[in-house]
């Protein structure tokens, strides 16, 4: 196995079990990595994995960090800086999200076409790192070629996918009905608490990004019900094999 893979995956909610398919693994707990935060969220194991997914050498984060855990934006996105230094060229991300698009259903997979940053801080605030320019172009935050490839694979395998805009909030509260309604008017199709800072920093580093959200609850008038973290995990686990199949195919065709 090479020690310098060019592909990384953040195994967020909905992709955690993909770690079981990685072979020839070298696992490094986050607590053993200097300056790395520690994941505190249930279901996020907290280790870096180097190995093979099929025939492809990859790096995987089993568990991510969130602003609501009390970390700064620089800490949340520190792993992306590490990826850049290790030579990562393409980043795959997944998350759980509440759907605001009335055409969505629980269990849908949404290919992320764009994003809205509703977090209280931009991770690039402060001194500019030499990995990228002071003012980062974000007109293609998610790589269009990767999006087309994902749609092709989904069609080949008969997997239903949606497309839409992902919006990130601070959390850790789930959204109120009024907030869901507001975010929909902003143009969001799904709302979550992660991904956006990572993708901003990845773009700053020149890393191509691809993302999928699993719709685990609905913020649509008339369909809003009480939701818990356990229910979100359960909904994500139900469609995890489909999300993993798309990601696996994309990585091995790269």
State the angle between helix axes of 196-204 and 78-85 in degrees (0 to 180), rounded to the nearest 10: 30
Q: What is the pLDDT of residues 4-48, one digit of tens each?
A: 799 999 987 666 777 888 889 999 999 898 888 876 655 446 889
CB contact at 8 A, 96 and 232: yes
Weakest mean pLDDT among 33-47, 50-64, 138-152, 164-178: 33-47
**Domain locations in the chain?**
7-253
Burial of 166 (0-12, 13-18, 19+ CB in 10 A): buried
pTM of this prediction? 0.92
**Which ranges in 30-135 belong to alpha helices (H)?**
73-76, 78-85
Distance CA 130, CA 225 (A): 46
Average pLDDT over residues 231-248: 80
Exposure string of 48-68, with b = 16+ CB inside 10 Å and e = fewer, is: bbbbbbeebbbbbbbbbbbbb
Q: What is the pLDDT of residues 72-129, one digit of tens each?
A: 999 999 999 999 999 999 999 999 899 999 999 888 999 999 999 999 999 999 999 8
CATH of domain 7-253: 3.40.50.1580
């Amino acid at each position: 196995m090479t020690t310098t893979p060019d592909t990384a995956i953040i195994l967020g909610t909905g992709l955690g079990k993909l770690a079981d398919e990685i072979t020839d693994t070298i696992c490094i707990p986050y607590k053993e990595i200097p300056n790395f935060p520690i994941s505190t969220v249930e279901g996020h194991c907290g280790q870096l994995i180097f190995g093979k997914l099929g025939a492809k050498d990859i790096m995987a984060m089993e568990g991510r960090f969130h602003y609501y855990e009390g970390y700064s934006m620089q800490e949340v996105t520190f792993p992306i800086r590490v990826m850049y230094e290790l030579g990562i060229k393409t980043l795959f991300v997944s998350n759980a999200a509440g759907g605001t698009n009335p055409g969505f259903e629980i269990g849908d997979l949404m290919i992320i076409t764009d994003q809205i940053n509703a977090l209280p801080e931009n991770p690039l605030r402060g001194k500019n790192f030499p990995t990228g320019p002071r003012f980062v172009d974000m007109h293609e935050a998610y790589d269009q070629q990767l999006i087309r490839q994902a749609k092709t694979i989904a069609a080949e395998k008969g997997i239903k996918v949606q497309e839409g805009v992902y919006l990130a909030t601070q959390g850790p509260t789930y959204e109120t009905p009024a907030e869901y309604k507001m975010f929909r008017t902003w143009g969001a199709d799904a709302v979550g608490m992660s991904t956006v800072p990572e993708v901003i920093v990845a773009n700053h580093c020149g890393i191509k990004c691809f993302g999928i959200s699993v719709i685990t609850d609905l913020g649509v008038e008339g369909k809003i019900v009480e939701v818990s973290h356990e229910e979100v995990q359960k909904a994500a686990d139900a469609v995890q094999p489909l999300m993993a199949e798309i990601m696996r195919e994309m990585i091995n065709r790269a």
